[in-house]
Amino acid sequence: MTLNDILAKNRESIINRWFDLIVDSYPQNTADFIKSEKNRFANPVGWTIKKGIEDIFEGIIQNKSDAQFFPILDDIIKIRAVQEFTPSEAISFIFLLKQAMCEKIAIENTELFAIESKIDTLASISLDIFMECREKIKQLKTNEGKK
């Protein structure tokens, strides 16, 4: 069984664990809400994160190109860029996938290297997006000032 097969088989448990790890970085009351409310419009943060990490996970299994991850990461990071996270905190959600995987499946070291490289790449892209978002917020402030 290849690593991708193992990941696909454990998709749900890994994603759910990954989701919980991300959401637990919010205060307890908030985390409880984000985890429990399933309606997309009543819980935009939770829904965007859940949908986003599902797509990222799928993308990793299907070995999608880096560019294909961009819009998915963009949706999540746009939110984190307005939520008082430092750059490292904002992108930390990507690394939590490693923890979720380690907890849920047993992987050989050689296989782990490949998947970790992918995760690290996604984190780098995330950082770029985060900086673009912050730049855009500054631009919006300047534009407002001109009015």
Partner 1 sequence: MAKEPKPQEIISQINYKPPQKAWMDIPVEIKEGMFCYGAKEKSLQTLDFPNARAWSVLDEDWKLPEKWDKIVLEGMAERLKKYRSFKIFMDICVRCGACADKCHFFLGSGDPKNMPVLRAELLRSIYRKNFTAAGKILGKLGGGRKLTIDVLKEWWYYFYQCSECRRCSVFCPYGIDTAEITMIARELLNLLGLNIEWIAGPAANCYMKGNHLGLEPHTIKNSIDFLVDEIEEKTGVRVSPTFNRKGAEILFVTPSGDLFADPGTYTCMGYLMLFHELGLDYTWSTYASEGGNFGFFTSMELAKRLNTKLYSEAKRLGVKWILGGECGHMWRVINQYMDTFNGPADFLEVPTSPITGTEFTNAKSTKMTHISEFTADLIKHKKLNLDPKRNDHLKVTFHDSCNVARGMGMFEEPRYVIKSVCNNFYEMPENTIREKTFCCGSGSGLNASENMELRLRGGLPRANAVKHVQEQYGVNMLACICAIDRAALPPLMNYWVPGVDVTGVTELVANALVMKGEKERTTNLRGEDLSWIEDEESKSTDETQIRV
- Of 9, 13, 38, 40, the one binding partner 1 (CB under 8 A) is 40
Minimum distance from CB of 67 to partner 1 (Å)? 18
Q: Which residues neighbour 131 within 8 Å (Cβ) at sequence distance 6 or greater? A: 87
Minimum distance from CB of 141 to partner 1 (Å)? 5
39 binds partner 1 (CB under 8 A): yes
Residues within window 79-118 making contact with partner 1, judged by CB under 8 A: 79, 82-84, 92, 95-96, 98-99, 102, 116
Q: End-to-end alpha-carbon separation of the chain, Å?
A: 61
Between 9 and 40, name the residue whose CB sits nearer to partner 1: 40
Do 80 and 41 form a contact (C-beta atoms < 8 A)?
A: no
Do 19 and 50 form a contact (C-beta atoms < 8 A)?
A: yes
Between 4 and 92, name the residue whose CB sits nearer to partner 1: 92
Give the integer Cα–Cα distance in Å for 119 and 94.
7
Query: In terms of Cα–Cα distance, which of 43, 99, 53 is closest to 76?
Result: 53
Token pair listed for 47: 């829904």
62 binds partner 1 (CB under 8 A): no
Give the integer Cα–Cα distance in Å for 38 and 33.
9
Q: Count interface residues toward partner 1 (CB under 8 A).
A: 42
28 binds partner 1 (CB under 8 A): yes
**What is the binding site for partner 1 (CB under 8 A)?**
21, 24-30, 33-34, 37, 39-45, 47-48, 78-79, 82-84, 92, 95-96, 98-99, 102, 116, 133, 136-137, 140-145, 147
